[in-house]
């Protein structure tokens, strides 16, 4: 157990601010817990924690060694998926891992979605950590049930458990060829003591039959016939739909309003003012005026008929053009040193040549295809919520807080998520629905419009980067200085305008560089909007600037960007904290012993992707290739894109290659689909993405001015190569994104000679 990773909340600041959700360790794995008599909890899947499964299943007799697995007397195995499904395919992956350890036949496995409950440990589906964080824990969940079934069989046959094996939903005794199905053993097994974690041996990997093989998409049929229930689709009898007019500026409030015209709209039932939030805003409702109606259309019309005068508040001066300048000025002055090796200033001063560049990436919005939505029912002092949330425990905590209830009085059910990307980790929409349900006295469904979503998002942070390199006479890089400025996510939680360790690990502190003098500095930047985490977070702008800058250095030296890339990564090795010039590395919550900064792995993905894309032909027939590589979420990804200028003069990406080294993978097809999606997501960032502010108000409102890549812009082909590995698993949902934008910018330079230092490309090019 000592090797088991600590299950910490994804964002270190959350832990620091005591907002961490989920335990530091899975309670069901403590040895003390394991020694309790088990006749009671076993055989019952409830009452706590509750799941969205039917009551009958919860009370069925059988084996129930922990909150994740239940084996019924008829043989049905129920596996709880405690992480949210938002497109990453977690429901098609994690339960399979458990079933493989158990030896269950997937045809006799039912997967149910967990409610928000600390009993499951951390449920925050975020930080690409559903597999990397709990791979071993989830195996142990299945293995525990297997050991108990085997023990029950051995007891009945009066043989040694070591002579038995569990597979195909049954236990076999090798010598006598006897067999007992899981169902026949479930009740007996349920009477045994749950073994200590130390007594539970995991299977050798070769016995995990499905892991690493193509796995069917569990929810595929429901997605294509319209029956999958997303948050937006959940309905209760007597429910009203609320559409809310929120203050246009963060921190603004209602000065006065007139609801008469809104109330005159047929179908409108109530108009309710929400309380104005106080900083720090965290997941509080924004305030504003809610219009509750019999249907969504009436609520939207009612809202349009409201007459509201707003007090804008202190953020009404926020202007993106001015702020851009503020950030650039910040990185032109020294900041707090966060990484230091050698004497960078001295080396820059005596360098034969100094190359410097500044990069800017704007605010971005998440825009999941399903805008935020939640349904809540408040009855008899308890609240029940149905929501597409990435973090049901945070949703539960926030609903309890806004209602002044203990958490036990709040139940959060998780629906399918129509996309998440970090937006649905925030519980503000759940909080709105819960509060309104109590006020209205009937079930309330809060529906955000797309305009609400774009205008009131927790925006990805705007940033400036300044990179400086000193070259000696031979062109060798002898000094590297990286300054970064961005308003950090911590500000949302009342933290200072300075990035923390968990922020700066994302492509600054954890960058392996074979350069003798390296210095990184963090500069201050004040937040004027709610800053949130967006898929791959700060890696977006750190990877963009670092990979672009390396390409600039290569061209300045007149050399192949791939060779310079490999030269700067240096020889295969583990880059120690000492080499990196840092005291500690947050390392996405995992130990550096298990997940070191491995320059060799980064080299290999670069070498592989340049082979596959035939890098030697990198400029040919009107197309040019661009390369970028990045380590994030403990996974190494290299991307090459091919860029062309089409007949209308537009720049387009016509082909992309992705090589990913994520260590052990459970479900290769979902790894591929995440990489394909990451290319498109990264292209949207590169080509189109920008939220710009004027007077504290976002200037974009829907997909016509906050554009996303469409099918006609999608590459003809996205090639994905997964490095075969037995190593500890890394993240998958996010690490594909960061290298995409710089690979495109580098390809554009190769094709046109134009260097892109500001995103999106649409600012300077036809895309």
Partner 1 sequence: MSIRVRINGVDRELDVDPEMPLLWALRDVLGLTGTKYGCGQALCGACTIHLDGQVVRACVTPVRRADGHSVTTIEGLSPDGSHPLQRAWVDLGVPQCGFCQAGQIMTAAALLAKKPKPTDAEIDQSLGGNLCRCGTYTRIRAAVKKAAGQPEE
354 binds partner 1 (CB under 8 A): no
Task: Among 114, 605, 651, 679, indicate the residue that binds partner 1 (CB under 8 A).
Answer: 679
DSSP letters of 166-204? EETTEEEETTTTEEEEHHHHHHHHHTSPPPPGGG-PPPP
- Per the listing, tokens 């009342």 go with 494
703 binds partner 1 (CB under 8 A): yes
Torsion angle of C-alpha atoms 406, 410, 411, 417, degrees rounded to 10: -110
547 binds partner 1 (CB under 8 A): no
Stretch of 23-31, 283-291, 377-385, 669-677 contacting partner 1, by CB under 8 A: 669-677
Instruction: Please give the C-alpha separations between residue 745 and each of 314, 585, 681, 682, 686, in angstroms, as whole numbers.
Output: 37, 29, 15, 11, 8
Identify the sign of the CA torsion 213, 214, 216, 217: positive
CB closer to partner 1 out of 373 and 471: 373
CB closer to partner 1 out of 121 and 742: 742
CA distance 725 to 198: 26
Task: Among 22, 371, 596, 738, indicate the residue that binds partner 1 (CB under 8 A).
Answer: 371
Q: How much is the CA Rg of the chain, to the nearest whole Å?
A: 27
In the complex, least distance from residue 694 CB atom to partner 1, rounded to whole angstroms: 21
CB closer to partner 1 out of 229 and 724: 229
In the complex, least distance from residue 494 CB atom to partner 1, rounded to whole angstroms: 31
Task: Among 277, 418, 735, 739, indicate the residue that binds partner 1 (CB under 8 A).
Answer: 418
- x-marked contacts with partner 1 along 419-458 as a string, rule CB under 8 A: xxx-------------------------x-xxx-------
In the complex, least distance from residue 573 CB atom to partner 1, rounded to whole angstroms: 35
Torsion angle of C-alpha atoms 538, 542, 543, 545, degrees rounded to 10: 140
In the complex, least distance from residue 390 CB atom to partner 1, rounded to whole angstroms: 12
Instruction: Please give the C-alpha separations between residue 426 and each of 158, 285, 369, 662, in angstroms, as whole numbers.
Output: 54, 11, 16, 27
In the complex, least distance from residue 124 CB atom to partner 1, rounded to whole angstroms: 18
In the complex, least distance from residue 267 CB atom to partner 1, rounded to whole angstroms: 8
Tokens of 88: 């990453």
Return the ∠ at Cα 754 (arms to 751 and 758), rounded to 5°: 125
30 binds partner 1 (CB under 8 A): no
Task: Among 416, 459, 493, 533, indicate the residue that binds partner 1 (CB under 8 A).
Answer: 416
CA distance 400 to 379: 14
Stretch of 70-78, 407-415, 519-527, 666-674 contacting partner 1, by CB under 8 A: 666-674
229 binds partner 1 (CB under 8 A): yes
Task: Among 23, 43, 62, 89, indicate the residue that binds partner 1 (CB under 8 A).
Answer: 89
CA distance 627 to 620: 16
Torsion angle of C-alpha atoms 335, 338, 342, 345, degrees rounded to 10: -10
105 binds partner 1 (CB under 8 A): no
302 binds partner 1 (CB under 8 A): no
Stretch of 34-42, 58-66, 134-142, 699-707 contacting partner 1, by CB under 8 A: 699-707
CB closer to partner 1 out of 32 and 711: 711
677 binds partner 1 (CB under 8 A): yes
- Per the listing, tokens 């589906």 go with 125
Q: How many helices (H) and strands (E) does the chain have?
A: 21, 30
Judged by CB under 8 A, the chain residues 718 through 747 that form the site for partner 1 are 718
111 binds partner 1 (CB under 8 A): no
| Total of chain residues touching partner 1, rule CB under 8 A | 68
Return the ∠ at Cα 727 (arms to 683 and 636), rounded to 5°: 25
Return the ∠ at Cα 254 (arms to 249 and 255), rounded to 5°: 115
DSSP-assigned letter for residue 131: T
Contacts of 152 (CB under 8 A, 6+ apart): 171, 185, 188, 189, 192
CB closer to partner 1 out of 199 and 451: 451
257 binds partner 1 (CB under 8 A): no
223 binds partner 1 (CB under 8 A): yes
669, 215 contact by CB (below 8 A): yes
In the complex, least distance from residue 472 CB atom to partner 1, rounded to whole angstroms: 43
- Three-class secondary structure of residue 622 per DSSP: coil
241 binds partner 1 (CB under 8 A): yes
Q: Residue length, the chain? A: 767
Task: Among 1, 193, 202, 228, indicate the residue that binds partner 1 (CB under 8 A).
Answer: 228
CA distance 328 to 331: 5
702 binds partner 1 (CB under 8 A): yes
CA distance 612 to 37: 57
Contacts of 331 (CB under 8 A, 6+ apart): 358, 464, 465, 466, 483, 484, 485, 523
Task: Among 36, 48, 54, 221, indicate the residue that binds partner 1 (CB under 8 A).
Answer: 221
716 binds partner 1 (CB under 8 A): yes
In the complex, least distance from residue 319 CB atom to partner 1, rounded to whole angstroms: 27
711 binds partner 1 (CB under 8 A): yes
CB closer to partner 1 out of 1 and 612: 612
Q: Where are the beta strands (DSSP E) in 705-751?
A: 717-722
Nearest CA among 76, 90, 75 for reference residue 670: 90
107 binds partner 1 (CB under 8 A): no
284 binds partner 1 (CB under 8 A): no
In the complex, least distance from residue 740 CB atom to partner 1, rounded to whole angstroms: 10
In the complex, least distance from residue 668 CB atom to partner 1, rounded to whole angstroms: 11
681 binds partner 1 (CB under 8 A): yes
Task: Among 79, 232, 282, 568, indicate the residue that binds partner 1 (CB under 8 A).
Answer: 232
Residue 280: count of CB within 10 angstroms of its CB: 14
In the complex, least distance from residue 666 CB atom to partner 1, rounded to whole angstroms: 15
- x-marked contacts with partner 1 along 607-646 as a string, rule CB under 8 A: ----------------------------------------
Q: Where are the beta strands (DSSP E) in 410-511?
A: 410-414, 444-447, 463-471, 477-485
CB closer to partner 1 out of 574 and 714: 714
Give the residues lining the site for partner 1 (CB under 8 A): 85-89, 217, 219-230, 232-233, 235, 241, 266-267, 294-298, 300, 367-371, 416-421, 447, 449-451, 669-670, 673-674, 676-681, 702-704, 708-712, 714-718
């Amino acid at each position: 157990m000592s090797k088991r990773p600590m299950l910490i909340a994804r964002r270190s600041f959350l832990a620091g601010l005591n907002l961490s959700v989920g335990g530091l360790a899975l309670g069901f794995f403590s040895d003390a817990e394991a020694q309790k008599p088990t006749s009671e909890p076993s055989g019952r899947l409830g009452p706590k924690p509750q799941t969205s499964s039917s009551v009958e299943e919860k009370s069925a007799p059988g084996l129930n060694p922990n909150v994740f697995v239940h084996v019924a007397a008829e043989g049905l195995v129920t596996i709880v998926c405690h992480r949210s499904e938002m497109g990453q395919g977690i429901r098609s992956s994690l339960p399979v891992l458990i079933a493989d350890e158990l030896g269950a036949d997937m045809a006799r496995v039912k997967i149910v979605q967990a409610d928000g409950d600390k009993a499951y440990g951390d449920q925050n589906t975020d930080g690409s950590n559903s597999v990397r964080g709990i791979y071993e824990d989830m195996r142990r969940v299945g293995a525990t049930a297997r050991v108990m079934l085997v023990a029950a069989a051995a007891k009945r046959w009066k043989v040694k458990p070591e002579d038995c094996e569990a597979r195909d939903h049954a236990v076999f005794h090798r010598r006598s060829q006897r067999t007992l199905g899981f169902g026949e053993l479930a009740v007996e097994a349920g009477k045994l003591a749950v073994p200590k974690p130390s007594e539970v041996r995991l299977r050798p990997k070769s016995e995990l039959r499905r892991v690493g093989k193509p796995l069917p998409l569990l929810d595929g049929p429901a997605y294509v016939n319209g029956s999958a229930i997303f948050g937006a689709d959940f309905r209760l009898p007597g429910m009203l739909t609320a559409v809310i007019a929120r203050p246009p500026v963060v921190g603004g409030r209602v000065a006065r309003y007139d609801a008469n015209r809104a109330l005159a709209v047929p179908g409108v039932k109530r108009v309710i003012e929400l309380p104005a939030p106080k900083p720090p805003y965290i997941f509080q409702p924004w305030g504003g005026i809610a219009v509750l109606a019999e249907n969504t259309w009436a609520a939207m019309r009612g809202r349009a008929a409201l007459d509201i005068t707003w007090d804008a508040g202190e953020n009404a001066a926020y202007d993106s053009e001015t702020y851009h300048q503020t950030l650039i000025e910040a990185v032109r002055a020294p900041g707090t040193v966060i990484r230091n090796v050698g004497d960078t200033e001295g080396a820059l001063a005596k360098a034969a040549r100094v190359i410097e560049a500044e990069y800017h990436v704007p605010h971005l919005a998440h825009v999941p295809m399903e805008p935020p939505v939640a349904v809540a029912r408040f009855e008899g002092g308890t609240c029940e919520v149905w929501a597409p949330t990435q973090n049901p425990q945070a949703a539960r905590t926030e609903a309890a807080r806004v209602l002044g209830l203990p958490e036990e009085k709040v139940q959060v059910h998780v629906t399918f998520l129509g996309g998440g990307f970090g937006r649905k980790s925030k519980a503000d929409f759940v909080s709105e629905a819960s509060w309104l349900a109590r006020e209205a006295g009937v079930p309330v469904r809060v529906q955000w419009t797309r305009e609400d979503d774009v205008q009131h998002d927790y925006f990805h942070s705007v940033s400036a980067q300044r990179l400086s390199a000193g070259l000696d006479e031979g062109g060798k890089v002898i000094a590297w200085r990286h300054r970064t400025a961005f308003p950090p996510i911590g500000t949302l939680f009342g933290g200072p305008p300075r990035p923390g360790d968990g922020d700066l690990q994302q492509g600054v502190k954890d960058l392996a560089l074979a350069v003798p003098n390296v210095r990184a500095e963090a500069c201050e930047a004040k937040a004027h909007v709610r800053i949130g985490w967006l898929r791959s977070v700060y890696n977006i702008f750190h990877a963009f600037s670092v990979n672009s800058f390396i390409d600039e250095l290569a061209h300045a030296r007149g050399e192949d960007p791939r060779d310079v890339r490999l030269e700067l990564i240096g020889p295969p090795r583990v880059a120690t904290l000492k080499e990196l010039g840092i005291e500690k590395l947050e390392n996405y919550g995992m130990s550096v012993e298990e997940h070191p900064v491995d320059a060799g792995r980064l080299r290999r993905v670069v070498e592989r992707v340049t082979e596959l894309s035939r890098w030697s032909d990198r400029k040919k027939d009107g197309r040019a290739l661009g390369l970028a590589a990045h380590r994030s979420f403990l996974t190494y990804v290299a991307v090459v894109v091919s860029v062309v200028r089409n007949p209308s003069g537009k720049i387009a990406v016509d082909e992309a290659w992705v090589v990913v080294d994520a260590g052990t993978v459970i479900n290769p097809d979902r790894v591929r689909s995440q990489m394909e999606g990451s290319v498109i997501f990264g292209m949207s960032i590169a080509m189109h993405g920008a939220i710009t502010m004027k007077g504290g108000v976002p200037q974009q409102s829907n997909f016509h001015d906050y554009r996303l890549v469409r099918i006609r812009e999608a590459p003809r082909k996205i090639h994905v190569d997964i490095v075969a590995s037995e190593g500890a698993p890394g993240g998958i949902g996010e690490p594909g994104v960061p290298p995409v934008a710089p690979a495109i910018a580098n390809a554009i330079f190769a094709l046109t000679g134009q260097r892109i230092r500001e995103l999106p490309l649409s600012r300077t090019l036809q895309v």
